[in-house]
């Protein structure tokens, strides 16, 4: 029996505390993003602007700013670096939507559909490069090292996920490696960079990097659950995307390991029968076999680790907001 | 009448002098490339290795090494930076082949066909990121600034070319801007970085950067000509790729400006009639109207500029090899 997590200070944890605490900084980040995505080539600000306008949670930039300020930082480097991390994230979204042949992004038509795959690839490349330009302008080799390693790990994780598509032999350990690379690494780079610009000591830098890592895993596992269990309208994209793309996520690994209708899973993933009826049966099996719940418990383990990382910091409203964010990762509906 | 260029020291200029002079360094670069493209994710060295194995001229790494050594450099940073520039180039090739829907690359099946578009996009992203990791490991912010700006200009140029597809209103000035960004900028970064690691004075850095720029333009214009006039077997890719992709290159701009069968060009580009018969007629018009020759003359103007940049350096076999390279740019058949 997995022990339950201490409930958060408010009943339903949300991102609101953090975003309202850091509202002025978020505004500055948006201004910075808007400035830095400008280009004489119109299509670039058009596509980049479209993606940015869709909103999203701005989780990664929030993490950089929160980490820096939790370590007492007073300057504005964290704003620019937060913007540059959002650029990297936006570039990966553009390329992901091409790779996954997605039609929707945050409830709106995705850029690859609205423009085309070619534009999405090339504008993604531009945003990657512009992110590196911004990092170089910051001038810290330490920051550059963290972010360039993170970006290359992220790309490695994406390739690993691609080559693991449709592979029902994938196990929990390998799956956690994939999401550590493709999702959690940019989270941990975001938090670590915040600590580094604040010139926090080694222990605090490590604690915040690990906070980012564990939070990233928790968010990704919850994404995996929501892909089968969310309210489609709230989610802003089609339910079952992972299923249709042949992504073997942790819930599927658990259901298959448990032996819940293996023939069905083989037909779906190896035989590529992924129609609506198959998706409905997959959801039925994932819920019935306890695979979704088991995945959530794993995510909650990571949340506990994340909370533990924050112990080293003195109490403050910012720390409380980060604690709430950790709880939010597994309590959210989108 | 455009004055003719002084003939090069040998009758048919080639790359051979430069590659044989820098043979040991080229070997070191290949070792470095091979080491740095390794990854626990097998598909990455598979695809990257395939592209690298296709050979190509290794122009950009040669330029970095030659520039550094022309400025008297004795260390090995130029080897690592040359490898990293080749990574950036390889990444753009992977993405270009997806964007252009190419079937062939250097006479062999292209990676997007052999694997798929998804793999090409993601492995390209990995190579981009790995290139940045390598640059950061070099540790010079000056080098990082040159290469990050070049990469982002390159991406901008690619987007500009995409948005200018099928546009017969494109003029020489805008076209030269596109190729300055998408091709010449990485050439000039390659030469400038060589001068910078050698700690050459400002004037030499500028001269070598401009050498790279003018050489890059000359190479690209010659590529544009060869796309209509080359021997398909020697070229290693299909003749008429630009035509079929709707790329309005300088020869087409000249032919259209001269009024040579405008209705045909409009039908081909705006009406997208790009079959073999249309290609044959396009080649006929480009040759007959003198558009290919006029493009070659412009390329030769840039070669002259390139040669002029080398004047500031004392005579040496390396300088002579770079002069021959400049002549080679417009005398080559592939």
- For residue B118, the chain A residues in CB contact (below 8 A) are 98-99, 162
| Whole-number Å distance between alpha carbons of A282 and A289 | 10
- Say what percent of chain B tops pLDDT 70: 95
Could you read off the pLDDT of A157-179 as tens digits, one per residue? 999 999 999 999 999 999 999 99
- For residue A92, the chain B residues in CB contact (below 8 A) are 125
Res. A280 pLDDT band, cuts 50 70 90? very high
Residue B135 has a pLDDT of: 95
Res. B1 pLDDT band, cuts 50 70 90? very low
- For residue B135, the chain A residues in CB contact (below 8 A) are 148
Whether pLDDT at B7 is above 60:
no
CB contact under 8 A, B155 and A129: yes
Residues 6+ apart with CB under 8 A from B95: A121, A122, A125, B120, B121, B124, B158
- Choose which CATH entry (2.40.128.30, 1.10.600.10, 1.10.10.10, 1.20.1070.10) describes domain B16-325: 1.10.600.10
| Whole-number Å distance between alpha carbons of A24 and A36 | 18
Could you read off the pLDDT of A260-271 as tens digits, one per residue? 789 999 999 998
For the record, the structure tokens of A25 come out as 């900084």
Residues 6+ apart with CB under 8 A from B300: B2, B5, B218, B330
CB contact under 8 A, A133 and B149: yes
Could you read off the pLDDT of A8-32 as tens digits, one per residue? 455 789 999 999 999 999 999 999 9
| Whole-number Å distance between alpha carbons of A139 and B302 | 35
Could you read off the pLDDT of B130-142 as tens digits, one per residue? 999 999 999 999 9
Residue B50 has a pLDDT of: 84
Pick from B41-45, B100-104, B192-196 the range whose average pLDDT is largest. B192-196
Residue A3 has a pLDDT of: 43
Could you read off the pLDDT of B307-322 as tens digits, one per residue? 999 999 999 999 999 9
ipTM, 2 decimals?
0.90
The CB-based long-range contact list for A23-30 (8 Å cut-off, 24+ gap) reads: A25/A65, A25/A69, A25/A78, A25/A79, A25/A82, A26/A58, A26/A61, A26/A62, A26/A65, A28/A76, A28/A79, A29/A58, A29/A61, A29/A65, A29/A79, A29/A82, A29/A83, A29/A86
CB contact under 8 A, A122 and B159: yes
Residue in chain B closest to A142 (alpha carbons) equals B136
Residue B159 has a pLDDT of: 92
Which has more confidence, B39 or A147? A147
Res. B2 pLDDT band, cuts 50 70 90? very low
Whether pLDDT at A4 is above 80:
no
The pLDDT mean for chain A works out to 91
* Mutation target vs B (from A46, A125, A189; most B CBs, 10 A cutoff): A125
Whether pLDDT at A55 is above 90:
no
Q: What would the mean pLDDT of B30-52 be, rounded to a whole number?
A: 88
Q: What would the mean pLDDT of B222-241 be, rounded to a whole number?
A: 84
Could you read off the pLDDT of A201-256 as tens digits, one per residue? 999 999 999 999 999 999 999 999 999 998 777 767 678 989 998 999 999 999 99
* Mutation target vs B (from A159, A163, A165, A247; most B CBs, 10 A cutoff): A159
Candidates A44, A128, A141; nearest CB to B159: A44
Neighbours of B328 (CB within 10 A): 25
Whole-angstrom CA distances from A171 to A256, A283, B16 are 10, 20, 52
* Mutation target vs B (from A39, A88, A118; most B CBs, 10 A cutoff): A118
The domain locations on chain A are 16-331
Residue B3 has a pLDDT of: 43
CA distance A219 to chain B (A): 22
Could you read off the pLDDT of A68-111 as tens digits, one per residue? 999 999 999 999 999 999 999 999 988 988 877 777 776 777 77
Q: Which residues of B touch A (CB under 8 A)?
A: 39-44, 92, 95, 98-99, 117-119, 121-123, 125-126, 128-130, 132-133, 135-136, 139, 141, 144-145, 148-149, 151-152, 154-156, 158-160, 162-163
A16-331 homologous superfamily: Farnesyl Diphosphate Synthase (1.10.600.10)
- For residue A115, the chain B residues in CB contact (below 8 A) are none
The alpha carbon of A82 is separated from its chain's Cα centroid by a whole number of angstroms, namely 15
- For residue A155, the chain B residues in CB contact (below 8 A) are 122-123, 125-126, 128-129
């Amino acid at each position: 029996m997995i022990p339950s997590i201490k409930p958060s200070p408010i009943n339903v944890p949300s991102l609101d505390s953090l975003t309202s605490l850091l509202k002025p900084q978020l505004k500055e980040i948006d201004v910075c993003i808007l400035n830095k995505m400008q280009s004489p080539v119109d299509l670039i600000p058009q596509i980049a602007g479209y993606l940015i306008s869709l909103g999203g949670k701005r989780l990664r930039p929030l993490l950089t700013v929160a980490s820096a300020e939790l370590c007492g930082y007073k300057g504005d480097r964290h704003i620019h670096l937060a913007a540059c991390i959002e650029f990297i994230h936006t570039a990966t979204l553009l390329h992901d939507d091409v790779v996954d042949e997605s039609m929707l992004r945050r409830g709106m038509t995705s850029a690859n559909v609205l423009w085309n795959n070619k534009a999405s690839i090339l504008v993604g490349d531009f945003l990657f490069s512009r992110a590196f330009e911004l990092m170089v302008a910051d001038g810290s080799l330490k920051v550059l090292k963290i972010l360039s390693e993170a970006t290359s790990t992220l790309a490695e994780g994406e390739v690993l996920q691609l080559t693991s598509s449709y592979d029902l032999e994938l196990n929990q350990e390998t799956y956690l490696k994939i999401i550590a690379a493709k999702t959690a690494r940019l989270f941990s780079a975001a938090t670590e960079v915040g600590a580094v610009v604040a010139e926090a000591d080694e222990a605090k830098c490590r604690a915040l990097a690990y906070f980012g890592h564990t939070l990233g895993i928790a968010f990704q596992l919850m994404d995996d659950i929501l892909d089968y269990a969310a309210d489609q309208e709230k989610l802003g994209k089609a339910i079952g995307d992972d299923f249709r793309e042949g992504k073997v996520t942790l819930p599927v690994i658990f259901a298959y390991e448990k032996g819940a209708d293996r023939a069905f899973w083989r037909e779906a993933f190896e035989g590529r029968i992924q129609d609506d009826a198959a998706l409905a049966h997959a959801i039925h099996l994932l819920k019935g076999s306890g695979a979704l719940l088991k995945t959530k418990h794993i995510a909650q383990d990571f949340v506990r680790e994340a909370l533990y990382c924050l112990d080293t910091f003195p109490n403050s409203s910012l720390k409380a907001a980060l604690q709430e964010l950790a709880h939010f990762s597994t309590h959210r509906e989108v």
